[in-house]
């Protein structure tokens, strides 16, 4: 069965530097590169490289950058459903520090053209059927995501939402989601939204977690030292003000509304809640070089295995291995590993 990814596509400019500069500070870069990115495109490439028949739905501008992104997807064997917008192709500027940390600024451009994306989604979903999987994120208009999920559900396909960047979602909106993938910040943020604020499931305020601070853009670790999604970074520091119990309680709150929740916990691995059961999946410890697309690689790889019929207990370790490989090389979409690499790393845990 196949994976249909709906999301953003960007032309990334990545700059390497000793560390991320403070506000008002100038730092000399050690290098620069450009390439494809965007949460949606990254996840589509990761799914395809993980072995899934993959379709990507999004929008680009009528410009050179848009044509390059189309070419990248075709070269990766991804079926392309890209609408052409009168807005320019999305752009991301990525700062990557020597320790693998990063900071990202995104100019949405065509990614904000909900009409173009919705039209392409309708075409791509016309042939969706039971066993197919529709994966989306929140870097494109929410209405486009919800419309695609409604169509997917009508056709018996499975819907997977990577709720990043984080934003409030109503219970009716969450009801369209079969599998929810979030990091610690996003988990707490979403659990707080239905009860009117950034509070955990127990009602306690979440210290230091806001929508802006908690938004995970392309798998970036947070400023407090939150580890890489699906892989253990060198810091391994806990998220300031957030306890493991608070995250677990928030995940249970969400699982009661969605059914299946996967929370990525960095060095602590992942927490999977489904059918009333909770499972902890350990991470693969690695030294991170560039965390830019770690979360996206996790999501794309997970989607590929769920579409293949794997149980979550098999799909999540696969996704964790893919993310661990991803962070050991630079770049966004280009850093996603291929199936043979993931299988080889998984075999070390057998």
290 belongs to the catalytic site: no
Q: Omega before 280 cis (within 30°)? A: no
Nearest to 164 by CA among 209, 118, 116, 220: 220
Which of 178, 189, 200, 296 is the catalytic position? 296
**Distance between alpha carbon 104 and the CA centroid of its chain, in Å?**
14
**C-alpha distances out from residue 159 to 129, 179, 299, Å:** 12, 6, 12
Nearest to 291 by CA among 231, 209, 215: 231
**C-alpha distances out from residue 335 to 43, 291, 332, Å:** 11, 10, 6
User: 278: Cβ–Cβ under 8 A, 6 or more apart, which residues?
Assistant: 248, 252, 271, 272
Residue 4 pairs in a beta bridge with: 55, 134
User: 40: Cβ–Cβ under 8 A, 6 or more apart, which residues?
Assistant: 5, 6, 7, 8, 9, 56, 57, 58, 136, 137, 139, 140
Helix or strand holding residue 281 (H, E): strand 277-281
Distance CA 347, CA 134 (A): 28
Provide the annotated active-site residues: 296
């Amino acid at each position: 069965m196949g994976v249909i990814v709906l999301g953003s596509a960007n032309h990334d400019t990545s700059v390497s530097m000793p560390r991320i500069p403070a506000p008002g500070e100038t730092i000399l870069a050690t290098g620069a590169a450009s390439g494809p990115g965007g949460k949606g495109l990254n996840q589509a490439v990761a799914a395809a490289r993980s072995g899934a028949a993959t379709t990507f739905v999004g929008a680009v501008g009528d410009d050179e950058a848009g044509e390059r992104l189309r070419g990248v997807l075709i070269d990766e064997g991804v079926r392309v459903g890209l609408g052409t917008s009168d807005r320019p192709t999305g752009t991301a500027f990525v700062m990557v520090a020597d320790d693998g940390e990063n900071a990202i600024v995104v100019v949405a451009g065509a990614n904000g053209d909900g009409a173009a994306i919705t039209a392409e989604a309708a075409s791509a979903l016309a042939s969706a059927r039971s066993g197919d999987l529709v994966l989306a994120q929140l870097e494109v208009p929410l209405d486009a995501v919800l419309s695609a999920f409604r169509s997917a559900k009508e056709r018996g396909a499975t819907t997977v939402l990577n709720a990043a960047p984080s934003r409030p979602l109503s219970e009716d909106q969450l009801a369209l989601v079969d599998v929810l993938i979030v990091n610690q910040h996003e988990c707490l943020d979403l659990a707080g939204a239905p009860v009117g604020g950034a509070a955990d499931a127990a009602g306690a305020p979440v210290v230091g977690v806001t929508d802006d601070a908690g938004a995970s853009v392309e798998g970036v670790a947070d400023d407090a030292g939150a580890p890489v999604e699906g892989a253990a970074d060198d810091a391994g520091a806990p998220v300031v003000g957030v306890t493991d119990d608070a995250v677990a309680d928030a995940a249970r709150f969400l699982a009661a509304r969605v059914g299946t929740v996967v929370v990525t916990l960095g060095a602590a691995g992942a927490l999977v809640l489904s059918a009333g059961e909770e499972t902890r999946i350990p991470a693969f410890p690695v030294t991170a070089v560039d965390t830019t697309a770690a979360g996206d690689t996790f999501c794309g790889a997970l989607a590929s295995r769920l579409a293949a019929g794997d149980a979550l207990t098999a799909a999540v370790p696969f996704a964790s291995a893919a993310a661990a490989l991803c962070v050991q090389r630079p770049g966004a979409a280009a850093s996603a590993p291929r199936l043979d690499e993931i299988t080889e790393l998984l075999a070390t845990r057998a």
